[in-house]
Amino acid sequence: MEDAAFLNEVAAFLDQSGVCDAADEVNRKEDRAPTEDTLLLSSHQLKAETEKRLASGISPVTSQPEHGIYSTSTRSKVSQEDKSQALQDDTKSTESRRESQHAQASERRRRYRDKIRNEKEALMRQATELSTELTSLQTAQLIQKKKQARNLMFNAWRGLLHDSWRDECERNSRGGY
């Protein structure tokens, strides 16, 4: 399977370079499966379309001297215009890239400000909640201290009352009424 794929790649390369002649093409067609034929046909069509587009476009400057409308000075003027156009395109792309980077940086700064603002609001809410909780705990602690003080005083009074009652009972039992 790998050998067949390798042979197809070599054949395609030779077809592109124009080395193979028609007899080799016939021999190779006999060896190929139907799907390989369609691949070869589509690669030939692609090659033909590419050559057609290249032929219809502006051909690159050749080493042969040209006669006619375009002289050497015209070609140099055109190439200078091409260079200036390329420079303008580079400048535009640089400006576009700079604007894009500026917009991205601006967006990052905005998101950071939003994040900081949200964190600040969350901390303020948390501080308010904690302050409320602290106030309620302090109030509960104060109430507890008052109860403890009252209980302490109550125990002292109860002790005094108990002593007083015992003294009175002793007096009553002695007959000192």
**What pLDDT digit, counting tens, does each position of 38-75 carry?**
888 888 888 888 888 887 765 444 444 444 444 444 45
Distance between CA atoms of 77 and 64, rounded to whole angstroms? Answer: 19
- Is 107 part of any domain? no
Q: What is the pLDDT of residue 71?
A: 47
- Is 24 part of any domain? yes
pTM for the whole structure: 0.35
* 176: confidence class by pLDDT, cuts 50, 70, 90: low
- Is 27 part of any domain? yes
Q: What is the pLDDT of residue 29?
A: 55
- Is 15 part of any domain? yes
Q: What is the pLDDT of residue 66?
A: 46
Number of domains in the chain: 1
Tell whether the model's pLDDT for residue 100 goes beyond 50: yes
- Is 119 part of any domain? no
**What pLDDT digit, counting tens, does each position of 110-150 carry?**
999 999 999 999 999 999 999 999 999 999 999 999 988 88
Tokens of 90: 């580079």
- Is 90 part of any domain? no
- Is 32 part of any domain? yes
**Torsion from C-alpha of 85, 91, 95, 98, nearest 10 degrees:** 140
R_g of the chain, CA atoms, integer Å: 51
Q: What is the pLDDT of residue 68?
A: 46
Between 104 and 95, whose confidence is greater?
104
Q: What is the pLDDT of residue 127?
A: 96
Question: Residue 68: what are its φ and ψ, rounded to 5°?
Answer: 130, -145
**CB of 89 closer than 8 Å to CB of 75:** no
Give me the count of residues in the chain: 177
Going by C-alpha positions, the residue among 132, 39, 43 that lies closest to residue 124 is: 132
Domain housing 14: 6-49
CA geometry: angle 35, 38, 42, nearest 5 deg: 145
Q: What is the pLDDT of residue 144?
A: 94
**What pLDDT digit, counting tens, does each position of 146-170 carry?**
988 888 888 888 888 999 999 999 8
- Is 101 part of any domain? no
